[in-house]
Amino acid sequence: MTNANYAYNKASAIKTILLAWLLVGSLDILAAFVDYYIKSGNGPEGVLRFIASGVFGKDAFGADNSMIWIGLLLHFFIALLFTIIFFLLYPKVKFLRINIALSAIIIGIIIWFIMNRVVVPLSNAPKFPFNPVNAIKATLILTFMIGFPLSIIFKQYYAR
């Protein structure tokens, strides 16, 4: 591979990751806002403060509006990590390439499990008892807002 091809491939990979990240990060947070509004009748502030509480605990709920922005930044940081991880795993894990729907479901389940069984329990965020209906709904949101877009984008990228 020539230096020009390598530079093009690297730039193309970075562009694909960034566009996929912005898309799935935006879709996921919008879904969280809508879900929270339907449940509570409140705006997105509660969602973003909850995310910030993962780092700042109860202080995120009583602090100034900076916690809202911190929550948004943390959300997009986490979305970027998942985007990069699945971009790197996609060509190496055969079952992710078999079928877009299967890949999307697997990605949704993996993200739900990591976030709800590892990240949130280890964080300072408030803990809630397991609710199977909420788990299924959250997994479906992750599947449709993150899993499908990543599966489609990465399938197209790696097909080139």
| Domain ranges for the chain | 3-37+79-159
pLDDT band at residue 95 using 50, 70 and 90 as cut-offs = confident
Euclidean distance between the first and the last CA atom of the chain, given in angstroms as a whole number: 15
Q: How far is CA 23 from CA 6, 16, 43, 80, 136, in A?
A: 26, 11, 21, 10, 22
pLDDT band at residue 3 using 50, 70 and 90 as cut-offs = low
Residues contacting residue 33 through CB under 8 Å, at least 6 positions apart: 43, 44, 47
Query: Could you read off the pLDDT of 20-38 as tens digits, one per residue?
Result: 999 999 999 999 999 999 9
Phi, psi of 91 (to 5 degrees): -75, -15
Collapse the DSSP code of 118 into the 3-class scheme (helix H, G, I; strand E, B; otherwise coil) and give the result: helix
pLDDT of residue 1: 56
Query: Could you read off the pLDDT of 125-157 as tens digits, one per residue?
Result: 999 999 999 999 999 999 999 999 999 999 999
Q: Is the pTM of this model over 0.85?
A: yes
